[in-house]
Structure 1
Amino acid sequence: MATNVSLCILLLHHSDPTAEAAGDLGVSLGAVGNKNNMPDQSSVVQLLKDNRISMVRIYDADPDMLNALAGTGIKVMVMLPNEDVATAAADKSYALRWVRSNVAAYPHTQINGVAVGNEVFDMRPDLSPVLVQAMTNVQDALAQQGLADAVKVSTPIAFDALQVSWPPSSGRFKDDIAQQVMRPMLAFLQRTGSYLSVNLYPCLTYMNQPDIARDYALGNANAAAATDPKTGLRYNNLLDAQLDATYFAMEALGSLGVSLKQTEHGCASGGRPKGKPPPRGGGRRLGDGDGAAAPSKENAQAYMNNLMNRVLSGRTGTPHRPDADMDVYIFELFNENGKGGPDDIEANYGLFYPNMQKVYEFVGFGGGGGASWCVANAAVGDARLQAALDYACGHGADCSAIQPGASCFQPDTKLAHASYAVNSYYQRNGRASGACEFAGAAYVVYQEPAGGESCFKTTTTTTTIGVYCCRATAASWCVANAAVGDARLQAGLDYACGHGADCGAIQPGAACFEPNTKAAHASYAFNSYYQRNRRGSGTCDFSGAASIVYQQPKQEDKGRVKVNTYRIEAWDQNSEDT
């Protein structure tokens, strides 16, 4: 039977200060360049769901898209466009009207962020002096609507806002914005519990700087490391160096507690930069640097798969910030064919063509930013599978279900039993890096193998993984949506507590009574009901007042998904009722 575990904070398995960092992986959804051939909103949303994309950034507050996203549980960042920043800064009533019309008007859509402008320093430098005031007025408007906890305010900046980026420890913002704009902005972000939004393009940096090695730019494992001479920190990839340069720049202005979110992060699969002539005199190839071709699908695929694997596996820290999370919006979902024509690099950042076919194969989004499984590798043979099975069962995996006569004994093969055991070990160790290795006898997958709840199988291009009758399931939780209001939260709370949830800990004076809010108590009760019903289909709905998450929610989710300040009763995700 599953073990009942009481924890005052949502954890994957146990509270462990040394646990791996984590991140969410989403997409930016641009539509400027291909309004005429973009799929309709319902098709776009279905594509997001089919690919288990848990968060999306849009470059406006399009009502059709926001309505299409209602009830999906997909987190949405909307944008107040650059042309409205000055008005929002000068007129608090305008900011309030904008929030009412573009955020509060969509209670069933999980809007969790507002981008005030986009790359203002580059696109509209005249707005730089009023940018923080616009952010402040939008924040105040959200507070008036009771949404200040649920929806965070930020503004995406380009990486070239840094004046110095190497070595990372010398990272500094440009002189014209550092004191006048960035210092008060960082103070605002820290005060409101928000994050600094940065648009990062290591591939583009590589194209423009011929002294950067290809493997280092693409994040390949065989890249030669570069060492910061001031700190001695070693950097195995350009992304880490850019992230740490940004952290050091923030620290130089006295900001230590503000996190980063990568609101654009892309690598083009074709085209050439604007203003560059055709190949031979044109853009450097993201391959061998011979200047003979523009960016390629092969290299975009390598970069994106390295990035996805990193975020999904939880290896999100940097040399300077080893505990850092990594939230990334990949730029972008679709190739925007109208951006300067097919030969323009700007038209070639998509994961999909507008007809919804993939531009190249990619790892995947992992369902909620981090769900993953460990599967045995049939190619290594029975002897190595047996060694992996023995190790997993001897070091904490629950292997009782694969004993003779137990529910998961069949099929009685080394492959099936090993896959069950290594996945149980992997889940029990918090899906930590290295917990699915077994000397090459297992590896991680980020798309749940298909085939139903009782048995499943999957294949790769080289190996049939096999058929298993059971598995140790990935962690998931049921959390309340504060935006639906206290009345609906109370109704859901009453139902859960009246139908099997253990609500003793949220009674007055009990361990999880504080914070005494409807959102906190409802999340506790909803999750208890969901876990007690074995995370069954339909057990986390409560008439739209709750949704499932697959990763420990972060601080910025507090409010709409208010989970990390109170106790939630969780079932041991690695034990299966037999």
Structure 2
Amino acid sequence: MAFSDTAGLIGINYGRIADNLPEPSKVVQLLKSQGLNRVKLYDTDATVLTALAGSGINVTVALPNELLSSSAANQSFTDSWVQTNIVPYHPSTQIEAIAVGNEVFVDPKNTTLFLVPAMNNVYSSLVKYNLNSSIKISSPIALSALQTSYPSSAGAFKPELIEPVIKPMLNLLRQTGSYLMVNAYPFFAYSANTDVISLDYALFRNNQSVVDSGNGLHYNSLFDAQIDAVFAAMNALKYDDIKMVVSETGWPSKGDENEAGAGAANAAAYNGNLVRRVLTGGGTPLRPNEPLNVYLFALFNENQKTGPTSERNYGLFYPNEEKVYNIPLTLNELTSGQSTPINGSKTQVTPPSGGGDVSTTTSGMTWCVANDQAGAEKLQAGLDYACGDGGADCRPIQPGATCYNPNTVEAHASYAFNSYYQKKARGSGTCDFGGAAYVVTQPPKYGNCEFPTGY
């Protein structure tokens, strides 16, 4: 695996629209146990900020949209806000940025024109308290701020936003040495355009690159294309010196019937491949030498969020701190091929695509099966490894043997993957095969074949 000096950073969004989440002190321990040292909040909750004190975790806090009009109207308001919500915690709590508002341009309360005056006042308040050199300000924008995003080279902001808010905001970011925050979700684009966007392209699994007709650059993922559309929009306005942080991106592990692509296997593929993409380095085709810094959405499933089922199922963790699926989150895990277990548990259980919530079984009875969405080529590669160097017992899937039928790559790979997994004592990271496998808590059913749980 090649690593680049343009390796980026992975953080995570810690949303709390739920009534069943662990105490903030436990959440801080969870973050540390997973090697996550950057977290983004949606407010300045005192309990959370206090729990993060002395943790070594870098924190981005938020001034909510409902405070934008007051913040824009009067610097004395932002002085008071900074004095109350920032000064008592920093630097023991390592606040590195303030997100002023969130996706303001799509806020139904029409707060767009308050944004830049509010950002200016927050910055002036940071100067007043001598915090401007250590804390950046920005504001996360949604991709819907773009009038055009395809091809990436044609990326352009909506004309009605450019003079009133985009240019003044980018000027402020330039003057303060800050960066643009962008929320990018290939899931939305894929789900709405399954006829023209391939799932492999959305999940970083594209073997053939897509060529941008405008500049000839090659793209292997929808994520890179979306980010470069924003860069192109900035370049068109002569702000090609301003950097970017992807403040939100993720994929839901569950969704409604009309939410194409939602499912645990796809979520694991998207986030797992994204982490690898960021940590192994290299920028986008348009800015190849700039690291990608990304905040995954989200830490937990949030049961009180409204909207479609997907909205409540973006978490990497259930509220009981069990992983929804097992992916590497650090460079160490990537290089070792292992993912960090939770609470000392050996086995991380991943629900199949569209499946219900499951957690590690107390009996330890779990099986490893093929992910049919990984594609025949990846399944065959995993099967070949398991039956070869992996040392799986593949005699039962030979012609004429008890588990030969059904004679499909998926069925044979499932048997081989499970044999390997059981022989490895169901250890963390032993049911992955490059995203071609996941763990289940029910015995697999392929014809009359019985899958063993021990050797």
The two structures share one fold, judged by TM-score above 0.5: yes
SS in 1 for 2:44: coil
In 1, Cα distance between equivalents of 2:13 and 2:320: 17
Give how far 1:124 is off: 4.2
The question of 1:350 aligning with 2:315 is answered yes
Matching of residues 34-183 of structure 1 within 5 Å: 34=18, 36-107=19-90, 108-124=92-108, 126-183=110-167
In 2, Cα distance between equivalents of 1:257 and 1:111: 24
Matching of residues 455-494 of structure 1 within 5 Å: 460-461=429-430
Counterpart contact for 2:21–2:319, Cα < 8 Å: yes
Give how far 1:221 is off: 4.6
Counterpart contact for 2:276–2:334, Cα < 8 Å: no
SS in 2 for 1:79: strand
In 2, Cα distance between equivalents of 1:371 and 1:42: 25
SS in 1 for 2:86: helix
* Matched residue, 1:321: 287
In 2, Cα distance between equivalents of 1:193 and 1:376: 37
Identity of aligned residues (%): 43
Counterpart contact for 2:4–2:281, Cα < 8 Å: no
Letter paired with 1:329: Y
Give how far 1:360 is off: 0.7
Cα separation, partners in 2 of 1:93 and 1:168, compared to 1, 3 Å: same
Give how far 1:462 is off: 7.4
Counterpart contact for 1:312–1:372, Cα < 8 Å: no
The question of 1:283 aligning with 2:283 is answered no
In 1, Cα distance between equivalents of 2:35 and 2:305: 27
Cα separation, partners in 2 of 1:19 and 1:352, compared to 1, 3 Å: closer
Counterpart contact for 2:184–2:246, Cα < 8 Å: yes
* Matched residue, 2:443: none
Cα separation, partners in 2 of 1:462 and 1:300, compared to 1, 3 Å: closer
2:219 to 219, 222, 235: 235
Letter paired with 1:298: A
Cα separation, partners in 2 of 1:125 and 1:339, compared to 1, 3 Å: closer
Give how far 1:371 is off: 5.3
The C-alpha deviation readout for 1:2-51, integer Å capped at 9, x for no partner, is xxxxxxxxxxxxxxxx963121111101112x1x2111111111111111
The runs of 4+ residues in structure 1 deviating greater than 3 Å are: 370-377
Matching of residues 179-194 of structure 1 within 5 Å: 179-194=163-178
User: How many residues matched?
Assistant: 341
Matching of residues 194-343 of structure 1 within 5 Å: 194-210=178-194, 211-222=196-207, 224-272=208-256, 279=257, 282-284=258-260, 286=261, 295-315=262-282, 317-340=283-306
Letter paired with 2:319: P
Cα separation, partners in 2 of 1:90 and 1:214, compared to 1, 3 Å: same
In 2, Cα distance between equivalents of 1:306 and 1:168: 21
Letter paired with 2:180: L
In 1, Cα distance between equivalents of 2:32 and 2:243: 27
Give how far 1:249 is off: 0.2
* Matched residue, 1:512: none
In 1, Cα distance between equivalents of 2:12 and 2:218: 30
Counterpart contact for 1:312–1:371, Cα < 8 Å: no
Q: Unpaired segments of 5 or more residues in structure 2?
A: 339-388, 390-426, 433-455
In 2, Cα distance between equivalents of 1:303 and 1:460: 17
The C-alpha deviation readout for 1:187-223, integer Å capped at 9, x for no partner, is 110110100001011012100112101100111152x
Give how far 1:78 is off: 0.6
Give how far 1:52 is off: 1.0
Give how far 1:298 is off: 0.4
In 2, Cα distance between equivalents of 1:459 and 1:130: 49
Cα separation, partners in 2 of 1:124 and 1:96, compared to 1, 3 Å: farther
Letter paired with 1:236: N
Letter paired with 2:259: G
Cα separation, partners in 2 of 1:81 and 1:74, compared to 1, 3 Å: same
Letter paired with 2:304: G
Counterpart contact for 1:114–1:154, Cα < 8 Å: yes
The question of 1:29 aligning with 2:14 is answered yes
SS in 2 for 1:104: coil
Cα RMSD after superposing both structures: 2.1
